[in-house]
Amino acid sequence: MKNLFNELFRPRDPYSLFTEDGIGIAFHHYRKEGSKVIILAHGFYNNKDAYLFRYIAASIFKEYPVISFDFRGHGQSEGLFSWTSDEEKDLRAVIAYARQNGYEKIGVVGFSLGAAVAIVEAAKNDVIDSVIAVSAPYDFWKINCHFWKEDMLDDLVLNVGPKGKGKGVRPGSPFREKVSPISVVNSIAPKPILFIHGKKDWLIHYSHSEKLFEAAEEPKKIVILEGAGHAERICDVMPEEFERLCFDWFRETL
């Protein structure tokens, strides 16, 4: 794992593709034999080259080819972040690229607002075959930050320490119209969806995933992890458990 992790940290130029509204999207395609691919969709203030997303890519790469990318307004992609109003176009462009490269099955792992985007796109895009939504909000305007929670301070370390190197965002207006995941999650079926949430999540309470799970149709599953926080922080504190959940899910559903 260490050698693979180091390999995925080697500097490289991103490939580029363009969305239907002309935004250039930077991404990495980690290739290996296989007809199935996993796409990683990061959350707010993150990107494909952040420490933990390199780690997650290396972990998933043990069994599957991986495509990780920067949403607009993040990392090396163009444009401004629209707070989930337009980001489904970014994911859609990456999915189209995956199909053009011959992949027959596509799984998506979305984190936080990236999970919200994954849910919205999966509700309308039949090319997606399986979804894992990590720390997903059921509605952008219902996100209930609890700054007094103990895990908030630990989470900040991921932004100011070595693991936060390179993070950032170029934000646009958050007030544009957007689709709430709760309003479309029932349309994902018959595609399977797994909701993962940390019980210590200070940013998006785990009740968001519970509401989404209740609204979703079968096949579905939910896992609330004791001792885990928000989004990629789950992978930071319990990497083996997160890896197991992903592999068990995709082996069953892809």
CB atoms within 10 A of CB 176: 11
213-223 pLDDT, tens per residue? 999 999 999 99
Total domains present in the chain: 1
Domain residues for the domain of 115 are 2-253
Backbone φ/ψ region at 27: left (φ over 0), alpha (ψ -120 to 50), beta = beta
* pLDDT more than 70, % of the chain: 89
21-34 confidence digits (pLDDT tens): 999 999 999 999 99
Domain CATH number, residue 36: 3.40.50.1820
Task: Tell me the pairing of strands 24-30 and 15-18.
Answer: antiparallel
Nearest-angstrom CA–CA distance, 152 and 137: 17
Under DSSP, the state recorded for 188 is S
**Given pLDDT bands bounded at 50, 70 and 90, which one contains residue 6?**
low
Rounded mean pLDDT, 244-249: 98
Taking each helix axis from N to C end, the angle separating 51-60 and 239-253, rounded to the nearest 10 degrees, works out to: 50
Residue with tokens 């490289």: 12
Q: What is the per-residue pLDDT for 5?
A: 55
For position 57, what pLDDT does the model report?
A: 97
CA distance 160 to 148: 19
Q: In what order do the strands lie in the sheet with 130-134?
A: 15-18, 24-30, 66-69, 36-41, 105-111, 130-134, 193-198, 220-225
Strand 36-41 relative to strand 24-30, pairing: unpaired
pLDDT in tens, 132-152: 999 999 999 999 876 545 665
Give the C-alpha separation, 64 to 37, whole Å. 6
Q: How large is the C-alpha radius of gyration of the chain?
A: 16
Mean pLDDT of the chain: 92
Assigned token pair, 49:
């080259």
